[in-house]
Structure 1
Amino acid sequence: MTDPNTETQLSHRQTTESKVDEVTKFERDYVPPNFTVKEIRQAIPPHCFERNTLKSASYIVKDLAVIAVLVYAATFIDTHLPQTLRFIAWLVYWFFCGAFATGIWVIAHECGHQAFSPSKFINNTVGFILHSALLVPYHSWRITHSKHHKFTGHIEKDQVFVPKTRKALGLIEKDEHEDGTSIYEETPIVSLFMLILQQLFGWPLYLIFNASGQKYKNRWANHFNPSSPIFEPKHYNDIIISDIGIIIALSAIYYFSYVYSFITVVKYYLIPYLVVNHWLVLITYLQHTDPKLPHYRKHWDFVRGAACTVDRHFGFLDSIFHRISSTHVAHHYFSTMPHYHAEEATIHLKKVLGSYYIFDDTPIFKALWRSYNQCRFIEDEGDIIFYKN
């Protein structure tokens, strides 16, 4: 008589081996795209590239109006609601205020790409004000984010969510262990804890310590030091201006803490700020971290790099986030395109890219857990490589 447990284990092993074989075949047979930017651009209607300052500004007005209403409504929570409903009301406030502030963040990010207006002065002025209010050093991040767009998917030149190699993580060689990972890394509770840290504090850690960015031997790379290795000498004044913006924002936080109390600032601003951090890290992480996405040591070009991007839906949050996630492939090919044209452009873009256009409809938090656990490292050798776990 056959042991049911043995049959179950055998079936699980066969399923796992089948998945491994399927992944291996996909990676082995992967052929990089050979389109040109011109071919892709010609497929998109010319009006999609037009920037309208007033139309762009209307989205700021809408987002700020909603945030203002939320803040005003929140002033009644502790004085007009019973104790049992207060925490729920604050949760609602933090969620929606953080979501609409993320929309503001996205528009400020468009300013950095010069997609808000045809005027460089307007772009940089609006972007500086909005990003500084969200504790983002505008020019500093604009510069490194531009490098990310120029070198997406390039292992040595991309600027964020740069994959770590097996050797860098100190993992054993792949022929000594089934998958070369540590037992601690496979513990779900540890993965969950690290994932929460990433989601809440990954953004400030990136700004201050260049976490997930390129490594510079014996040099501290951060977004506040004009002499940081991630900048060039010509960027010096821009970094100083960005730092001044952060100092002004922090001074405002201190002032309101002094006038209204620090707890009040925590409830009205700092917790929504953490929510913004969460959405920002979640969106950007899932845009460029997926088992289906290659990374290049050789054979890289801009078109291939821009294809190392995944479009995803965030449900009703898509409109609040100005569809930054559901149209991110188009954004990477044409970063000066305003967000309100990107959805139409994506329809035409997909026709040219074909199978190289990647859309993943996995529920967002399931996709996050999958990517975090399946995209741990890349091998130290190879020209076109994929994530391993």
Structure 2
Amino acid sequence: MQVDRVPLGATDAEFSTYARSAQELSFTLQDLKAAIPARCFQPSTLRSLAYFVLDLGIIAALYAVAHAIDTWLFFPVFWLAQGTMFWALFVVGHDCGHGSFSRHRWLNTLVGHLAHTPILVPYHGWRISHRTHHANTGNIDTDESWYPVDESTYRAMPWPQKLVRFYGALFAYPFYLFFRSSGRSGSHFMPGSDLFRPSERRDVLVSTLCWSAMILFLVWLGLTQGLLFLATYYVAPYLVFVAWLDFVTFLHHTEPDIPWYRGDEWYFLKGALSTIDRDYGWVSPIHHNIGTHVAHHIFLGIPHYHLKTATAAIKPILGDHYRCSEEPVWKSFARSFWACHYVADQGSKVYYQPHPSRRQ
């Protein structure tokens, strides 16, 4: 049985059907779920709200300190700290998009917009396309985020496109929102985009209107307080946030030994294992342990504060299929940045290859 995607919110029985038996895997989704404590699948609304309020409090405090000190000696520190907190706020909205923030859909939608709109993320537009990514992880033909191009496509790319895709990766996110990438067209802001079903267009419109209101507020801020004020207190932290988002997403799905699949070789569980956990050191608790990514891709309904427990539970079962890197993330990024450019034109299971000039 070939499966193109696993629907979100599938029951255990549906998971068993969609995650077909694999000759090379000695475990199933049911085996993995049974190993995880049941409490890990139960979000706590109060605990989730506490993380959200804490993030907002730290952001407010950083603004207050920066305004009080008001010196260019401190602003670079402020930009790094506030941009990192913007990223933490994004992760809270990310949980809302997966329904792992709370069991209340209306609360997920409300907090998702409150978390994402201030950092210029169209909540529903991003949530829906991110759903496609999770349902098709590791599938070259249908994955939605940080998927590889084949060698012939790479060689045919004009140099400006290569420059943006491979050497401007840390700032690719705004382009992704408006245009997608590498021929997969669609805007996260347009309700009529091919990214969305007709039943989702109203939600997309609401998020686009919220995003537009934030843009108008920033324009007003720039006109009344000056462009330097806007750049200092918003644009610079926002760029740090974008760098964090692309940096972390790249690291989770880009590694020379992570396989990608075509055709019948792909199915949900095998694709979900095509990611890697990273150790971000002291930053990990700040951005809500987003580095625990393997368990998240297998069971996206687990709240971020239960992912470490879930990971420890399934590691013995996954064995060699569990990937985790404990080396410094900057070192991992540098290696993958130069070593992962494209995959072979043919083959049902392929791996990233470096630029020809960098081959041994």
Q: Same fold (TM over 0.5)?
A: yes
The within-5 A match list for 1:75-154 is: 75-78=67-70, 86-154=71-139
- Matches of 1:87 and 1:194 in 2, distance apart? 33
- Matches of 2:26 and 2:119 in 1, distance apart? 39
- Matches of 2:237 and 2:59 in 1, distance apart? 11
- Matches of 1:163 and 1:282 in 2, distance apart? 16
2:181 counterpart residue number: 211
Q: Deviations over 1:332-379 (max 9, x none)?
A: 111111111111111011111011000012211121111111111001
Q: Is the contact made by 1:33 and 1:303 (CA closer than 8 Å) also made in structure 2?
A: no
Greater shift, 123-132 or 228-237, is seen at: 228-237
Q: Is the contact made by 1:153 and 1:308 (CA closer than 8 Å) also made in structure 2?
A: yes
1:59 counterpart residue number: 51
| Amino acid in structure 1 at the alignment position of 2:243 | H
1:304 counterpart residue number: 270
- Matches of 2:213 and 2:165 in 1, distance apart? 32
Q: Deviations over 1:90-149 (max 9, x none)?
A: 111011111111111000010000000010110011102211111001101100101100
1:197 counterpart residue number: 168
Q: Deviations over 1:18-75 (max 9, x none)?
A: xxxxxxxxxxxxx853531111000001011111111001011111111111100111
Question: Which residue among 316, 336, 342 is the counterpart of 1:371?
Answer: 336
Q: Secondary structure at the match of 1:167?
A: helix
Q: Is residue 388 from structure 1 mapped to residue 346 from structure 2 by the alignment?
A: no
- Matches of 1:348 and 1:372 in 2, distance apart? 31
Q: Secondary structure at the match of 2:274?
A: coil
Q: Is residue 357 from structure 1 mapped to residue 322 from structure 2 by the alignment?
A: yes
- Residue 256 (structure 1) shift: 1.7
Pick closer, same or farther for the CA change 1:159–1:34 going to 2, 3 Å.
Answer: farther
The within-5 A match list for 1:246-257 is: 246-257=211-222
Pick closer, same or farther for the CA change 1:171–1:251 going to 2, 3 Å.
Answer: closer
- Residue 229 (structure 1) shift: 1.9
- Matches of 1:308 and 1:90 in 2, distance apart? 39
1:320 counterpart residue number: 286
| Amino acid in structure 2 at the alignment position of 1:317 | V
Q: Is the contact made by 1:35 and 1:303 (CA closer than 8 Å) also made in structure 2?
A: no
Q: Secondary structure at the match of 1:169?
A: helix
| Amino acid in structure 2 at the alignment position of 1:111 | C
| Amino acid in structure 1 at the alignment position of 2:169 | Q
The within-5 A match list for 1:161-200 is: 161-170=146-155, 197-199=168-170
Question: Which residue among 293, 302, 326 is the counterpart of 1:337?
Answer: 302
Greater shift, 158-167 or 227-236, is seen at: 227-236
Percent same amino acid at aligned positions? 35
| Amino acid in structure 1 at the alignment position of 2:191 | P
Q: TM-score, normalized by length of structure 1?
A: 0.81
Q: Secondary structure at the match of 1:148?
A: helix
Q: Secondary structure at the match of 2:49?
A: helix
Pick closer, same or farther for the CA change 1:32–1:205 going to 2, 3 Å.
Answer: farther
- Matches of 2:28 and 2:346 in 1, distance apart? 28
- Matches of 1:243 and 1:351 in 2, distance apart? 44
- Matches of 1:63 and 1:44 in 2, distance apart? 28
| Amino acid in structure 1 at the alignment position of 2:222 | S
- Matches of 2:207 and 2:168 in 1, distance apart? 26
- Residue 196 (structure 1) shift: 6.0
Greater shift, 203-212 or 154-163, is seen at: 203-212
| Amino acid in structure 2 at the alignment position of 1:204 | P
What is the aligned residue count? 330
Q: Secondary structure at the match of 1:316?
A: helix
Q: Secondary structure at the match of 1:381?
A: coil
- Matches of 1:254 and 1:195 in 2, distance apart? 31
| Amino acid in structure 2 at the alignment position of 1:308 | S
- Matches of 1:33 and 1:254 in 2, distance apart? 54
Q: Deviations over 1:156-194 (max 9, x none)?
A: 11101110100101269xxxxxxxxx9x99xxxx98x97
Q: Which runs of 5+ in 1 are unaligned?
A: 1-30, 79-85, 173-181
* Root-mean-square deviation over aligned CA pairs: 2.1
2:31 counterpart residue number: 39
1:70 counterpart residue number: 62
Q: Secondary structure at the match of 2:64?
A: helix
- Matches of 2:232 and 2:166 in 1, distance apart? 24
Q: Is the contact made by 2:165 and 2:172 (CA closer than 8 Å) also made in structure 1?
A: no
- Matches of 1:53 and 1:223 in 2, distance apart? 28
Q: Is residue 271 from structure 1 mapped to residue 236 from structure 2 by the alignment?
A: yes
Question: Which residue among 248, 251, 254 is the counterpart of 1:283?
Answer: 248
Question: Which residue among 189, 192, 195 is the counterpart of 1:224?
Answer: 189
